[in-house]
């Protein structure tokens, strides 16, 4: 039951080229930076990533993106990541943009064993009708576009069919975790982390504070250990390394 792995490098040692990854975080909050850096150090490439966004301020997934290690992104937000936008428009990167709530539910559904579900989000748009550019040809044209999705009517309203997401691996960051893999997240860092943890067939969690089994109140657990296969305890320096994307101060 002890799922603790000595180092981040050891935790990601079996992640192969071409793997699919669900990665927690939102902007710079709750991003598993140490595990991502370990993947970078190992040289893993040709990755398909499912994450709300693809890193920011040259941290998080932006490290892998800038190195050309990511070939496909499934997410909901490009944001201020200029390299992400450049690669997408240049045809170097395939991108499936999904409404944010739909992305969250697709991850949750995959982890819960639900193959598909219907949602009103996207009805009457290219999300349902198809034609969203997945990959550009580098000359302003579209090389690959999203297909049309099934739409059905329930109680007089239309809903689009969306499929659950499962990935080979998941990388998440938690404020606290025990040796059995039970995780607790801190405030907004909870974001996509529980959903990514559920969606991965092998989930690896970096934790800022490692505690012994029984130290976490069962009622306080955000992700139970059944969803987590490996735990990496961060050093105090790693745990304290937290960036702020948009610093706002008051007088």
List pLDDT tens digits, range 96-133: 999 999 999 999 999 999 999 999 999 999 999 999 99
List the beta strands (DSSP E) in 76-229: 94-97, 116-119, 133-136, 142-145, 151-154, 157-163, 167-178, 183-184, 200-211
Print burial letters for 117-129: b (CB count within 10 Å at least 16), e (below 16).
bbbebbbeeebbb
Residue 200 in domain: yes
Contact, 168 vs 20, CB < 8 A? yes
- Confidence class for position 244, pLDDT limits 50, 70, 90: confident
The domain total for the chain is: 1
Q: How far apart are CA 103 and CA 76, in angstroms?
A: 7
Q: How far apart are CA 232 and CA 177, in angstroms?
A: 9
**If you average pLDDT over residues 87-100, what whole number do you get?**
96
Residue 126 in domain: no
**If you average pLDDT over residues 32-58, what whole number do you get?**
94
Q: Looking up tokens 């992104």, which residue turns up?
A: 73
Residue 23 in domain: yes
> By three-state DSSP, how is residue 217 classified?
coil
Nearest to 68 by CA among 98, 96, 44: 44
Residue 15 in domain: yes
Residue 92 in domain: yes
pLDDT digits (tens, 9 = 90+) for 148-193: 999 999 999 999 999 999 999 999 999 999 999 999 999 999 999 9
pLDDT digits (tens, 9 = 90+) for 182-231: 999 999 999 999 999 999 999 999 999 999 999 999 999 999 999 999 99
Query: How confident is the model at residue 91, as a pLDDT?
Result: 96
Query: How confident is the model at residue 86, as a pLDDT?
Result: 94
Query: How confident is the model at residue 1, as a pLDDT?
Result: 87
Given a cut of 80, whether residue 57 has pLDDT beyond it is no
Query: How confident is the model at residue 239, as a pLDDT?
Result: 93
Query: How confident is the model at residue 243, as a pLDDT?
Result: 82
Residue 24 in domain: yes
Q: How far apart are CA 251 and CA 241, in angstroms?
A: 25
Q: What is the chain's mean pLDDT, rounded?
A: 96
- Confidence class for position 247, pLDDT limits 50, 70, 90: confident
- 201: CATH: 3.40.1080.10
- Whole-structure pTM value: 0.94
Which structure tokens are listed for 183? 């995780």
Residue 152 in domain: no
Q: How far apart are CA 200 and CA 170, in angstroms?
A: 5
Given a cut of 80, whether residue 48 has pLDDT beyond it is yes
Range of the domain at 14: 8-115+164-240
**If you average pLDDT over residues 72-76, what whole number do you get?**
97
Residue 148 in domain: no
Structure-model confidence comparison of residues 250 and 209, the more confident one: 209
Rg (CA), the chain: 18
**What value, to the nearest 5°, has the Cα angle with vertex 81 and ends 120 and 63?**
115
């Amino acid at each position: 039951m002890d799922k603790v792995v000595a180092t981040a490098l050891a935790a990601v040692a079996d992640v192969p080229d071409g793997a699919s990854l669900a990665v927690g975080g939102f902007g710079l909050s709750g991003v598993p930076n140490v595990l991502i850096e370990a993947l970078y150090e190992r040289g893993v490439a040709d990755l398909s990533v499912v994450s709300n966004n693809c890193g920011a301020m040259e941290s998080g997934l932006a490290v892998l993106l800038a190195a050309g290690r990511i070939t496909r992104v499934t997410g909901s937000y490009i944001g201020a990541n200029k390299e992400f936008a450049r690669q997408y428009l240049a045809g170097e990167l395939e991108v499936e943009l999904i409404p944010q709530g739909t992305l969250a539910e697709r991850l949750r559904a995959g982890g819960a064993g639900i193959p598909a579900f219907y949602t009103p989000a996207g009805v009457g748009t290219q999300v349902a009708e198809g034609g969203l550019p997945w990959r550009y040809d580098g000359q302003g044209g579209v090389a690959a576009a999203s297909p049309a999705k099934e739409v059905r009517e329930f109680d007089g309203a239309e809903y689009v069919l969306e499929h659950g997401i499962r990935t080979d691996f998941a990388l998440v960051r938690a404020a606290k975790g025990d040796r059995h893999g039970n995780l607790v997240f801190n405030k907004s860092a909870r974001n996509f982390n529980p959903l990514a943890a559920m969606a991965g067939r092998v989930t690896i969690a970096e934790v800022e504070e490692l505690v012994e089994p029984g130290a976490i109140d069962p009622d306080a657990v955000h992700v139970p250990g059944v969803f987590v296969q490996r735990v990496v305890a961060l050093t105090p320096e790693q745990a304290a390394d937290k960036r702020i994307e948009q610093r706002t101060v008051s007088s």
